[in-house]
Structure 1
Amino acid sequence: MYLESIVKDLFNQLHAPLLVLDTSMELVAHSIHEDAEHDATQVAMIVSRRGTAGAVESFKRYRVKYSTEPVRIPGRAGGRGHIVVTVRSAGQPTGYLTFPDLYGEDIPEAHLAAIEAASSEIGEALRDRMLDRRRGREHVKQLLAGLLGTDRLQHNYAVQEILAGRLLTPAAQYCVVVLEAGRRENDQASARRHLENAVEQITAAGAPRCMGAVIHGEGIVIVPECLDSDTLSGLLAEHGLDSVCAGSGGRADTLEETAQSYQQARTALQAVRRDRSRYGRSAAWNDLGADRILLQLPLETMSGFDLSPGIQRLFAAKNAEMLVESVRAYLDAGGNAVEASRVLHVHRSTLYYRLDRAAEVSGLDFADGKLQRELHLELRVADLIGLQPRSC
């Protein structure tokens, strides 16, 4: 309320609609008054609760962050421009005050004095807000670490604090979602920013209340419901999180059981890392099938030399990519050549020719039912360790 009071007092002096943004361009406060309408740019910021892409670009171009004076940003296509003031605490930027440029010439001295006085107060208010949010995030992080860790005392304390503080909507079931920055985020600072934004987007959604934090490079969110792959994918899409990957764990009937869901979520995320073609950017533990077991093998220490000699010969053969694809489709179809031909979009005789060729180079009998199960398993392991057949 303190910040809103400052904005209201300044509006009464300037008679201009005001917006306050923090340094991450999140909208923190704005004036509301019937006698002064917000322009289109301001309305867009109020609706999205963030600075627009155009505003972000203009702030950078006009080096607003480094100015100690009000900065005039011209309007586009002859429209009205805006005045932006960087607010500070102890000399460090904590946010921005912006309003339409209603003057057309020099800002009156009385208004400049009012802006300067309000900017100082807004800068301190934003600093206090930032510290409060940081303390809150640290508290949540400590509780999550205790809840998902192995120390029983910390675990029990975390459960009590989360329930007592209603940091999470009480529910009949929970699951844990683990987030990871996408491959294009090469440096750790950028990856962490994307994870923190993703956690913030999900946990700030409202009802039901989730809780989350970034811990040791992982975004961790506890959700008061069980998520399948489609729901998890929809959650990422809903918040525009196209720069992160996610895995969700299985159902936990109580908060005490979420540690197991967390481990399952990490396994699901590993499935995304190892087989993007099958899982895309998100996977749920409940939809992994046999991969639940395979992904808990020491895959990082395995190579093609751990597979049977026949599979090794198949992967090294001429036209191996085509042969492996045909064998995999045949095994996926349970030995049904008609179904495999349909999936591959080839004639059945073509499939039989390829299977005969694969059997010849590998020395394997693909008609053997027991061997089919073993080969199917080996090919899946080959996928998960990233073994690629020859392409020539």
Structure 2
Amino acid sequence: MRDDLQELVDEVSRVLAAPATLEDATFTLLAFCAHDDSGVDPMDAVRTRSILTRGSAPETRRWFEEFGIASTTRPLRTPADAAAGILTRIVLPVRHDERTHGYLWLLDDGRIDPDDDGDPALARAVELAAEAGRLLADRPAADLGRTLADALTGRPGARAQAERRLADQLSGDGAQVLVALAPAGGRLPLHWRLPAAGAVATVLDDGPVAVLLPLPTATDLRPAGALTAASLRSLPRGSAAGVSAVRSGTGALAGQWREACAAARVAAAVPRYSPVAHWDELGAWRLATELSAPDPALLPLLADPVLTETAEVYLDCAGSAVRAAEALRIHRQTLYYRLGRIAGLTGLDLADGDARLLLHAGLRAARLAGGSRPLRA
């Protein structure tokens, strides 16, 4: 297909007598052509970066999307920005079945009128853009990684379009989960590959791997178990994974991603959930993942590891001195002495329900902050 796209871009460049660049909907470079009848190929910062890096920076995408390129159905001119080194250009939307699959860019130096419906050259270029749309619509699921990234972190317009495209890849009743893989140390091993077929994966800018995994049914989580087990075997020791709640369709992927990242943070920080945590099984830990930091009143306590552990165990035992002392393997009088010191350091009355809730939630937030590499959805 790449040869077909290159021939198509060559033809567009010839017809409109201008350098042409073809990118998919995520601004990944697919093909380009320099029209050099004049001996000069007009270049600007955007075209140079696209050719050299096979893509565009997020801020560049946002700049062009502000002019409505994701929703237009006809040729459109985008303005120049001298300060940013951006030349004016014509964009032909690459569409199929009422969806935008990419963009054909022409550095025409302002010569072409995008509203001239009587221009035969422009009409032919529009036909070629439609043919490119048909080709891109038939791309295999292996090319969907950037689309998944758009669905999770893109702007609203790009996010909705990406969700629709990903929905086309789901089978059965459309049930799926998102999995967050958090490699220890924050980096994937060289040449790491996702050990799963039928899944769509992408590595986001802040490090975690996002995996969209279709399920046979909404109650069959065996594919998620197999994927996380195989993935963690190929990742460094200490890596963790989080699995979102099951959803049907792709309309809530951003929310699922927050769930998966939160579950991975708990798996990395709390031994009883390690190395894989499921959002639906986290209980009150789900609330702790929403806290950015513990209450300042807890800071003096957190400086003492022994008292911090004592407070955690005591509260996990629902305030039972008998059970907490047994779990800590200390005398009950020693426990009472420590509880008195905890109250003194924090100013909290441990007989008060609100104070216990503040302390318990803060201790869990501190554990997540200190026991795992932060994952941000």
| Structure with larger Rg | 1
Between Structure 1 and Structure 2, which shows a larger proportion of helix residues?
1
Higher relative contact order (CA 8 A, sep 6+): 2
> Given the two structures, how large is their TM-score scaled by the length of structure 2?
0.50
> Given the two structures, how large is their TM-score scaled by the length of structure 1?
0.48
